[in-house]
Structure 1
């Protein structure tokens, strides 16, 4: 069960409680579910009871109890507890883990780059505007892509005359006075022009350098962004994607088709967790207008992919016969490559199949 699955389960419980008259409160558009912090209880936590307590005119723990009774026993959930002032803490059902992991890999492979995209922002228009500065323009365009992954409509406008070379960074301007929620994008300036960055770093490295740091941090834009080695996170992410694609091609040549089977569950917890977190990362990055969260998440996926790749090679070696284990590993590798490509797309960075 993914955070998105848990969110849907919680919202369904809220609707049930409202329909049954046990809870008098508006049903929220979404329920935020996050991994439990170190030392906390369970695998995931949700604060929706605290959000509903005011409108329902009930103590948060009482609201949490109403929801717990309607969530307990749902497929994939082993235990639900009420902690603190009214948090719902979920412990997943370990026995259902293999089936859930298989379902997630199938979902990623079926949806492709659409994995993690939702419609919670459908019909909502966001108007982003930024100063005539290259980093602000690039961040605004990436935030627009993130909001679109949530179903939102976005216009991006520049408060000054656009830099003529921004188009090479796929920065587009939109109507300056479109209706909708307005937000100013003002990260720490890059201290460089689009022309200077493109000529020295090229498009992909320039975008990564501008987007990887948090907006309130300085953006390091040195030549280390061009290093073809593990010390360069951009290279590591793109290489992980290229390696995943190479495994799929080689699997096809050997007649090994990726098909994740619960009976051949792959022991790669870090990679499974990173793939499951992808929808939540997109949602949080869109909500906080923080594409740097996507970049850091891609680094985590790449690191986990290489750990899995080295520990459990996806393809048979030598005279080894293809097995269900190889099919599951190959399917997991393909899913990792898909998530990496989708994340790079949100950042506007290419994901070449060969490096």
Structure 2
């Protein structure tokens, strides 16, 4: 019996007490079921009686006593004890806990998945680095975390579209084009231009594609470098994302918002709603009416449209495509952007609390021997995603970036994350999966197979280490749901490390395979199921993080 199933059993007991008039309360939609720290307190504990006592107008222990009788009568429960102020400690019947292993193996890749977010259509925008240079290490954090959040949301039943917003309009693209043009003509980098050897590389590629580009007039040259340079840079960004295991469903061009008239339509809509005014020759959105600290310019006095105008059109485009919620991931340097974007959403007539979510991530530092890693020769001033992958590999990079809460700045120690030892967290988790794979291979060599679910006696899994492992496996669906709800993939990583440790302790204590000439027993088979169940959860958890689960290491 999994914790989720036990929650339903507890709700059923409450409903039964309500139906017969013993309790006058609303049956809760959800109840807390957790593992007690002390195993002597049973397999699981719930505080449902404490939660219901006030509404019932009765002492918590009295409610607990009443529910204990109903719970004890439920199939799969051996005993229910009332503890402290009204906690219910639940001991499962023999074999009920062991069924978790059967359920995990039988469900396979589906184990842990729920339908909690079924029916929700979410647009998840992340990375969205300007196509003026390679993806840097800050963008790599959003690549790892954003993709993991997308996988978590899908595991909870949501319909998720991963989207990359291409900032291919505006002043930074002009600076990029001038930088390429200068490099191609052997001129110094413009004062506000981009440096790094990648600029020379792209400029050379443009010249190779358009051999006569340097013979054209200045404006035409710049347009060629703008168009071809952005296309080449974007192609490289796409490759780097794909190599990092991140696939975007939509690559959305900011420039297309102008070409299709979406920006003009957005401004017209906001003007019709009475939120736009003119002052000092500029066009403004009155965002202070919606909690912003100042109004925002949509069109400058010189007629140039601002990024904020593009944002208005882009948000409305997403909503027009049918997304219930727009989730945007931004770096710490964009934290001041939250207030104005919420105001924008409110100005369109939407509810920012319902239709918008902005996540802010902190910085990433790459260290070696405690010192910052040198800047990238190619980028000139920053550490690139490619530098991180070259240093520790894709699996370690994705795991390291997703392992900490995004509101924390992290230091990635190259020496630690490149080691093949147990102090490297990703190695520790992957090794547990490889160890189990080895056990299953050895079992097959001995002629041992799992067999059908009806052929295994999981009631034999009564050792303390076996029970610990079963309960840990049973927690996986709750961990995934909570991580999805909180947008916190680091919870999955920390859970996997705990699960790996729990498995290693089980393996060191409980012999799985027979030795020498020993005949295989039903206990051997039951323990093989437990191993297979653990491997299933390790695979599913690593998959959520976009990390492989090797069978050999």
TM-score by length of 1: 0.84
Q: Distance in 1 between matches of 2:40 and 2:495?
A: 22
Question: Residue in 2 aligned with 1:167?
Answer: 242
Number of residue pairs aligned between Structure 1 and Structure 2? 348
Structure 1 stretches lacking a partner, 5+ long: none
Q: Distance in 2 between matches of 1:235 and 1:306?
A: 13
Q: 1:204 aligns with which of 370, 395, 402?
A: 395
Matches within 5 A, 1:56-205: 61=60, 70-77=70-77, 78-79=79-80, 81=82, 84=85, 88-93=87-92, 96-97=93-94, 99-130=95-126, 132=128, 133-158=139-164, 161=167, 163-164=237-238, 165-173=240-248, 177=318, 178-180=323-325, 181=354, 182-191=356-365, 192-205=383-396
Question: Residue in 2 aligned with 1:2?
Answer: 2
Question: Residue in 2 aligned with 1:341?
Answer: 539
Structure 1 or 2, whichever has the larger Rg, is 2
Task: Flag the 1:52–1:171 CA change in 2: closer, same or farther, 3 A.
Answer: farther
Q: Which secondary structure state, in structure 2, belongs to the residue aligned with residue 215 of structure 1?
A: coil
Question: Residue in 1 aligned with 2:437?
Answer: 245
- Superposed CA deviations along residues 198-254 of structure 1, whole A, max 9, x for unmatched, are 232221111011011222333332222121112212112111111211211221121
Task: Flag the 1:233–1:119 CA change in 2: closer, same or farther, 3 A.
Answer: same
- Superposed CA deviations along residues 244-286 of structure 1, whole A, max 9, x for unmatched, are 1121122112111236424532522332222122222112212
Shift of 1:322: 1.6
Task: Flag the 1:42–1:322 CA change in 2: closer, same or farther, 3 A.
Answer: closer
Task: Flag the 1:145–1:205 CA change in 2: closer, same or farther, 3 A.
Answer: same
Q: Distance in 2 between matches of 1:237 and 1:7?
A: 29
- Superposed CA deviations along residues 126-151 of structure 1, whole A, max 9, x for unmatched, are 44344542212321221121122222
Q: What RMSD, in angstroms, separates the aligned Cα atoms of the two structures?
A: 3.2
Q: Does 1:235 align with 2:236?
A: no
Q: Distance in 2 between matches of 1:127 and 1:64?
A: 44
Shift of 1:36: 3.7
Shift of 1:105: 1.3
- Superposed CA deviations along residues 134-178 of structure 1, whole A, max 9, x for unmatched, are 212321221121122222222334466484322322334456622
CA contact (8 A) 1:6 1:33 kept: yes
CA contact (8 A) 2:82 2:89 kept: yes
Task: Flag the 1:122–1:15 CA change in 2: closer, same or farther, 3 A.
Answer: farther
TM-score by length of 2: 0.56
Q: Which secondary structure state, in structure 2, belongs to the residue aligned with residue 333 of structure 1?
A: helix
Question: Residue in 1 aligned with 2:487?
Answer: 289
Task: Flag the 1:51–1:238 CA change in 2: closer, same or farther, 3 A.
Answer: same
